[in-house]
Amino acid sequence: MTQYKMAASGLDFYYGDFKALKDISLNFVEKEVTALIGPSGCGKSTFLRCLNRMNDLIPGTRVDGLVALDGEDIYDARLDVVELRRRVGMVFQKPNPFPKTIFENVAYGLRVNGWTDKAAIAERVEESLQHAALFNEVKDRLHSSALGLSGGQQQRLCIARALAVRPEVLLMDEPASALDPIATQKIEELIHVLKDELTIIIVTHNMQQAARVSDVTAFFYMGELIESAPTKTMFTRPEKKQTEDYITGRFG
Ligand SMILES: Nc1ncnc2c1ncn2[C@@H]1O[C@H](COP(=O)(O)OP(=O)(O)OP(=O)(O)O)[C@@H](O)[C@H]1O
C-alpha cells in the first residue's frame, strides 16, 4: 500500500453552523506538488489550513474526519501542535516578515525551537537563504531590516524562514498573487527546486501557474472536492463538467 506523506479522509469543516468543507478525501504523495484550484470561497484556503491545524486558532470552528501525516492522525489530542507546524510549514499570500533583521527573521523558528549555538544558527540561516534563492541578494545586509526588501524578496525571505526548521511539507496559500511577473517566476522556479526535498501543497487562482508548477491538481467547488488528477490530465481531459467549465474560464 502506498504510504502517502499526507492524507485527508472524510474531512468536514465548520465555521459555526456553516459547513465550509464537505467530506474531502485527498492524498498527497511525498515530493510531489499538488495545486488546489477553484473559484473564490470554495474552501481551498480552509482546506490548506486544516493540514497544519491553523484553523484551531479560529474560535467556533470544528473539524470532523481524518488528516494524517506519515499515517498518524494530526488531530490526535496527544499530538504536539508546535512540532506539527515545524514539520508542516506555511507561506501566506501576503509576505509577512517580522519587523526584525533579515537574519533574525530566518533565525526565529530556530530560537523558538530552543537553538542557542550562535555558529549553528548562522550556518542554518545562510543555508536557508541559499535554499530560498535569496542569499546572494542579501548577503551584505543580513543585519538590516527585512522590511527594506522588495515584495518578491520578502516572500522568498518568508520561504527561507519556513525552510529554516526543515519542514517535510510546505503549504503555500497563493504565494505569488501579490507579486509582479518576475518575482512570481522566481517563486515558481523555487518550487521546482524545493520539490526535490519537500511535499508542496499550493493554493492558486492562476490556472497557468497550477499547470506550470504542479504534478497533481485538485478542483474544489462550494466546499466539495470535485476531482483530482495528474495535472496534465486535469487540464486536457477533466472528467467532470464543472471542472471543464472552470478551467476553460466559463465560470469563476
Ligand atoms: N474565519 C471565517 N469565518 C467564517 N467563515 C469563513 C471564515 N473563513 C472563510 N470562511 C468561509 O468559508 C468559505 C471558504 O472560504 P475559503 O477562504 O477557504 O475559500 P477559498 O477557496 O480559499 O477562497 P479565496 O480563493 O477567495 O481565498 C467561504 O464561504 C468563506 O466565506
Domain coverage including residue 179: 6-102+169-247
Judge contact between 151 and 179, C-beta under 8 A: yes
Whether pLDDT at 43 is above 70: yes
Whole-number pLDDT of residue 178: 86
Q: How far apart are CA 245 and CA 251, in angstroms?
A: 6
Residue 240 within any structural domain of the chain:
yes
Q: How far apart are CA 78 and CA 154, in angstroms?
A: 35
Over the stretch 233-251, which tens digit does the pLDDT of each residue have?
999 999 999 999 999 887 6
217 forms beta bridges with 35, 229
pLDDT band at 179 (very low <50, low <70, confident <90, very high): confident
Find the 102 Cα to ligand 1 centroid distance in Å.
Answer: 32
Residues 6 or more apart from 57 whose CB is under 8 A from it? Answer: none
Give the CA dihedral 97, 85, 202, 165, nearest 10 degrees.
Answer: 60
Find the 38 Cα to ligand 1 centroid distance in Å.
Answer: 12
Whole-number pLDDT of residue 1: 55
Residue 123 within any structural domain of the chain:
no
Whole-number pLDDT of residue 252: 53
Residue 64 within any structural domain of the chain:
yes
Judge contact between 175 and 209, C-beta under 8 A: no
Q: What is the CATH number of the domain that holds 48?
A: 3.40.50.300
**Strands, E, within the chain: which ranges?**
6-15, 18-28, 33-37, 61-69, 72-73, 88-91, 169-173, 199-203, 216-221, 224-230
Give this prediction's pTM: 0.95
Q: Give the residue from 64, 54, 69 showing the smallest Cα distance to 5.
A: 69
Over the stretch 129-171, which tens digit does the pLDDT of each residue have?
999 999 999 999 999 999 999 999 999 999 999 999 999 999 9
Over the stretch 82-123, which tens digit does the pLDDT of each residue have?
999 999 999 999 999 999 999 999 999 999 989 999 999 999
* Count of domains for the chain: 1
Whole-number pLDDT of residue 130: 93
Residue 48 within any structural domain of the chain:
yes
Q: How far apart are CA 207 and CA 217, in angstroms?
A: 10
Residue 39 within any structural domain of the chain:
yes
Q: How far apart are CA 86 and CA 218, in angstroms?
A: 25
Residue 45 beta carbon below 6 angstroms from any ligand 1 atom: yes
Q: Give the residue from 200, 197, 192 showing the smallest Cα distance to 217.
A: 200
Over the stretch 53-90, which tens digit does the pLDDT of each residue have?
999 989 999 999 999 999 999 999 999 999 999 999 99
| Cell numbers placing 107 | 533565525
* Sole residue written with cell 529554516: 164
Residue 109 beta carbon below 6 angstroms from any ligand 1 atom: no
Dihedral sign for Cα 144, 149, 154, 159, please. negative
Residue 40 within any structural domain of the chain:
yes
Residue 24 beta carbon below 6 angstroms from any ligand 1 atom: no
The ipTM, to two decimals, is 0.96
Judge contact between 157 and 132, C-beta under 8 A: yes
Write the residue with the smallest CA distance to atom 28 of ligand 1: 41
Whether pLDDT at 2 is above 70: no
The overall average pLDDT reported for the chain is 95
Strands 6-15 and 18-28 come out as antiparallel
Mutate to test the pocket of ligand 1, among 13, 15, 49, 94 (most ligand atoms within 8 A of CB): 15
Residue 221 within any structural domain of the chain:
yes
Residue 150 within any structural domain of the chain:
no
